[in-house]
Chain A
Amino acid sequence: MSSKMGLKIMGRGLLPVLGVGVLLLPAPPVQAAPQHFERHFAVKGRPVVILQNVANGRIEVKSSKNSEVVVVATQASNKIGVVAEQAEERIDVTATILDNSAPANELEANFTLTVPEETELQLKSQTGLVYVEQVMGDMTLQSVAGDIHLKEVSGYIVVRTTGGSLVCTQCAGKLNFNSISGNAQVLQPGLSSVTLFTMSGNILFDGEFIRTGIYTMKSGKGTVEVHFSGNDSFDLNAQTATGTVDNQAEALLRPDSHGVRHIASRFTKGLFGTVGSGLAKVELSSYSGTIRILKRD
């Protein structure tokens, strides 16, 4: 009995103390409410869509048969401002940071753009993935640390990254990639002009060399690897200053058939040759990495 009474007294006495204690406890962090942004812009012809995402987050672009550009953004908080405006065929979308002191997880904005199949793109991202699929038109894609994945796109494609890598699958037209530490993978392309440069990343080209095409691939310290088919026709020039050339397709390479006598510089290790009739031009170089040439199975 005395113990029950004791509990009651203790309960009465503790209640206000606990109540005050609860009030004094630091409030749990208020979760920033996600924000949703959606705009539809009617267009007539071939629009130009410009998106600059200063915040963290991914950008996804897909095409549709509709003559409109749909911009959907999901923001982690209201610390990011999204503005979209239209000037006839130009759609400008900008995400800006409104509060620089906000934690990184609140500074995220993900974008999904749905555009007509023929659209020009200028996308600028910081750290998130940029993904573009089935869009035809010139595009300039810039990213600092985010990767850039392109699938079935065509046009004059310019990609600039600092550390982000490029994966270009079934791309057509012309491709120009420049990066410091990003890798570049070009798979099953229909590209007539390819210029790839990375300072420390690796390069992989696996696909067909279009006749009359020009392909230049350079890596400062990384590997440059080219997989070609026996039906391809190209002149090859591979050079490295301090790296190595690993030619696994020696049987298919013949001396240059166009009368130009190539002499490797005495300061570099070089490989010249022709596959087929030598219609395309392929120039590979690496300052200190490995250049690997092999025939696809």
Chain B
Amino acid sequence: MQCKEVEVVLEREGFVPVPEAARAHLSGCSSCRSLIADLTDIVATAHLLPAEVEPPARVWTSLRSQLEAEGIIRSAATRSGWLNFSEFFRPRVWATAAVGLLIVAAAALQFQRPTTQPTEARAYENIYENTSLTLSNDEAQLPAMQLAGISGMDVSLRQNLDIVDKFIIDCEQRVKEQPQDELTREYLSGAYQQKAELISVMMERGGSEN
């Protein structure tokens, strides 16, 4: 079974529990195992969100327009479904969408109450930690990848990843010191989003698919 076939099986049968048909492939494929791990993380994080939190419509609108701008989804006018499910399983989309979901969660928390309470600060901390961990795991896979093509571009991507990493460290430090600093949180969320997109581009260039 190939990675693409695993995606089809997951799409059809879900991933809890992992379908029998996909198990043999997963035992020998780190990329697909990572996909399952990401999916599990996302679902687990989603369960942690308070049930009453409903992000404002403009958050969804903003997320949707961002995804449209990135070419990840197309508008309803040009496509019948909001998002083709099999396309949604592409690793690049997942990396971006996973972080997007966490950022939506952070935004929802932000809009829930006008001022940040200690419990919310902890919730933020959890979300940021999860996001940071997910991205670090993805980043850790990059050195092993054989980056193909124009080397100058790979150098540029690496340099930019370094810039993002340093900026994230800076913002995380400040958020730890000043959890109620909304401006820094906003920049930190943006930096996570950019890192996810950058890693996705690098993974695609490295040929993450088997």
Please list the residues of chain A having a beta carbon within 8 angstroms of any beta carbon in chain B. 54-56, 97, 100, 104, 107, 122, 126-127, 140, 144-145, 158, 160, 162-163, 176, 178, 180-181, 197, 199-200, 218, 220-221, 239-242, 265, 267-268, 285, 287-288
Listed from nearest, the 4 A-B pairs whose CB atoms lie closest are: A267-B181, A145-B156, A180-B160, A287-B187
Please tell me if B37 contacts chain A, counting CB pairs below 8 Å. Answer: no
Q: How far is the CA of A9 from the CA of B159 in the complex (A)?
A: 64
Q: Which of B69, B149, B181, B187 contacts A100 (CB 8 A)?
A: B149
Pairwise interchain contact A180-B153, C-beta atoms closer than 8 A: no
Taken together as a complex, chains A and B put the C-alpha atoms of A197 and B66 apart, in Å, by: 13
Q: Could you tell me the distance between the alpha carbons of A140 and B140 in the complex, rounded to whole angstroms? A: 31
* Contacting pair B181 A144 (CB below 8 A): no
Q: Are B187 and A241 within 8 A (Cβ)?
A: yes
- Give the Cβ gap from B31 to chain A, nearest Cβ, in Å: 20
Question: How many chain B residues touch the partner (CB < 8 A)?
Answer: 31
Is B160 a contact partner of A162 (Cβ separation < 8 A)?
yes
Nearest-Cβ distance from residue A245 to partner chain B, whole angstroms? 13
Residues of B contacting A176 with CB < 8 Å?
Answer: 69
| A127 close to B171 (CB less than 8 A) | no
Q: Is A127's CB under 8 angstroms from B181's CB?
A: no
CB <8 Å contact, B157 and A127? no
Q: Which residue of chain B is the closest to A101 with respect to CB atoms?
A: B148
Contact A145 B178 (CB under 8 A): no
Measured between beta carbons, the chain B residues less than 8 angstroms from A181 are 159-160, 163
Contact of B150 among A56, A199, A239, A287 (CB under 8 A): A56
**A220 B191 Cβ-Cβ under 8 A:** yes
Task: Determine how close the nearest CB of chain B comes to the CB of A266; give it in whole angstroms.
Answer: 9
When chains A and B are docked, how far (Å) is the Cα of A122 from the Cα of B174?
38
A54–B149 CA distance with the chains assembled, in angstroms: 9
